[in-house]
């Protein structure tokens, strides 16, 4: 199914899937080893950890949700490593390193650092009873260095991921969503509409005589017009109305409302553009098409209908709104 395709998953989903599999498979052999040794407390603990990892894997795999699986993973990994240390003694301290490092890949770096600091405090009483002063210093120092390195590494990764997502989903000129972002947004919206019968209306607008602006005043002036109109639309709307650059001088707005409200909003945008000075050289107008989603139609049919509405607005003489 497309829902379970690895390409469709977020980084957080992939991390949870991989970490849960690695931890589950890695700990499973210890269940049998400790069973043969008669270490029943550790057998029970390892079984609980493996079950926790299985739950994390299948929940993320089936639902693509990560908030609660992340919390479960953190709880199982950190509590499991701590209890094993308290049950079996000093040689189990080695499990603190993978448990703490995995925390950075599941939680935000600053939260992971705080969680690991608390876990180290929980370890402290047993560390003092099991090790001499030099060994305690070595453990604390090595744990601290590991956490600092992991913090800087994962923080850098998250910043790079955020920047890459912005580059991949944002139009560099107008800072609106690009066609890729539009497709992802509409795919999710379409699923929501089918599930919850959500109201949604598309507004597609086009700058009138934009080619003449480029021909008469140059592409830099044309770019300025695009930047200014996108900014004007953002100021006119709120965050509930995502804006995407659909084509060269076309913008598409997704409205969580019925067509009559979408029409009123389109009229408001048209009037704001008409009275604004988008460029010094000339006044500008826009034409707009409006289409509410109709039950039973596909995304392509919906988009085609709003495109047809814009086409009719152009044929009607421009500087107007047509609703279909």
Active site residues: 249
Pairing of strands 286-292, 321-323: parallel
Say how far apart CA 45 and CA 6 lie, in whole Å.
31
- Answer yes or no: are the C-beta atoms of 66 and 73 closer than 8 Å: no
- Give the three-state DSSP class for 175: coil
Helix then strand then coil, % of the chain, to nearest 5? 70, 10, 20
Question: How many Cβ atoms sit within 10 Å of the Cβ of residue 129?
Answer: 9
135-167 CB burial, b ≥16 within 10 A, e <16:
eeeebeeebeebbeebbeebbeeeeeeeeeeee
Say how far apart CA 277 and CA 230 lie, in whole Å.
13
Query: What are the Cα distances from residue 204, in Å, to 170, 211, 285, 319?
Result: 18, 18, 14, 13
List, as one string, the DSSP characters of 10-33: -HHHHHHHHHHHHHHHHHHHHHHH
Question: Could you identify the residue written with the tokens 């001088």?
Answer: 249
Say how far apart CA 255 and CA 269 lie, in whole Å.
13
């Amino acid at each position: 199914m497309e829902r379970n395709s690895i390409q469709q998953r977020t980084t957080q989903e992939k991390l949870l899937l991989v970490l849960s599999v690695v931890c589950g498979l890695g700990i499973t052999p210890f269940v049998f080893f400790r069973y043969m040794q008669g270490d029943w407390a550790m057998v029970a603990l390892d079984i609980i950890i493996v079950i926790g990892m299985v739950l994390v894997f299948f929940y993320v795999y089936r639902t693509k949700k990560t908030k609660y699986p992340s919390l479960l993973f953190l709880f199982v990994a950190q509590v499991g490593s701590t209890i094993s240390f308290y049950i079996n003694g000093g040689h189990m301290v080695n499990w603190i390193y993978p448990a703490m490092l995995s925390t950075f890949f599941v939680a935000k770096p600053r939260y992971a650092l705080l969680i690991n600091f608390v876990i180290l405090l929980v370890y402290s009483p047993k560390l003092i009873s099991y090790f001499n002063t030099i060994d305690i210093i070595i453990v604390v120092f090595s744990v601290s260095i590991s956490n600092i390195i992991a913090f800087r590494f994962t923080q850098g990764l998250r910043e790079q991921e955020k920047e890459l997502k912005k580059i991949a989903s944002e139009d560099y000129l107008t800072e609106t969503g690009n066609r890729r972002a539009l497709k992802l947004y509409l795919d999710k919206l379409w699923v929501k509409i089918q599930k919850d019968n959500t109201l949604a209306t598309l507004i597609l607008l086009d700058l009138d005589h934009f080619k003449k602006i480029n021909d008469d005043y140059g592409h830099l002036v044309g770019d300025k017009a695009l930047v200014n109109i996108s900014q004007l639309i953002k100021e006119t709307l709120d965050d509930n109305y995502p804006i995407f650059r659909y084509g060269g001088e076309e913008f598409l707005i997704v409205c969580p409302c019925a067509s009559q409200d979408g029409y009123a909003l389109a009229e408001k945008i048209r009037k704001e553009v008409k009275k604004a000075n988008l460029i010094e050289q000339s006044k500008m107008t826009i034409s707009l098409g409006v289409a509410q989603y109709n039950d039973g139609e596909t995304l392509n049919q919906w988009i085609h209908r709003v495109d047809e509405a814009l086409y009719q607005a152009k044929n009607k003489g421009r500087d107007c709104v047509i609703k279909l």
